[in-house]
Amino acid sequence: MQLFVRAQTLHTFEVSRLETVAHIKAHIEALEGPSCDDQVVLLCGVPLQDDDVIGQSALEFSTLEVTTDCCEERTWYSAPI
């Protein structure tokens, strides 16, 4: 199945329906360098999980967006009142 992945550049992948988002991240790491742990894969703005199987979604001919998560640790807090 054909899948488009936009990271730093646009890539076209032929993937099997059994591959996961983690496999896509590994392809991007090999091509562009950002580690799999730092990548966030989005479909229509919604983050996908690493164990999501490509064939279980209607992703053929879709474009996935890959961004990097630049924040290693997130701290959530409330401002004092």
How does pLDDT run across 15-65, given as a tens digit for each residue? 999 999 999 999 999 999 899 999 999 998 899 999 999 888 777 778 999
Distance, in Å, from the CA atom of 19 to the CA atom of 5, rounded to the nearest integer, reads 14
| 68, 35 Cβ separation under 8 angstroms | no
- What's the confidence (pLDDT) of residue 73? 45
User: Is the distance from CB of 60 to CB of 12 less than 8 angstroms?
Assistant: no
Q: 8 falls in which pLDDT band (50, 70, 90)?
A: very high
- Does position 7 have pLDDT exceeding 50, yes or no? yes
What residue type is assigned to position 38 of the chain?
A: D
Query: Does residue 3 contact residue 12 with C-beta atoms inside 8 Å?
Result: yes
CATH code: domain 2-68 is 3.10.20.90
At 60, list the tokens.
């053929």
Q: Tell me the C-alpha distance between 66 and 46, whole Å.
A: 11
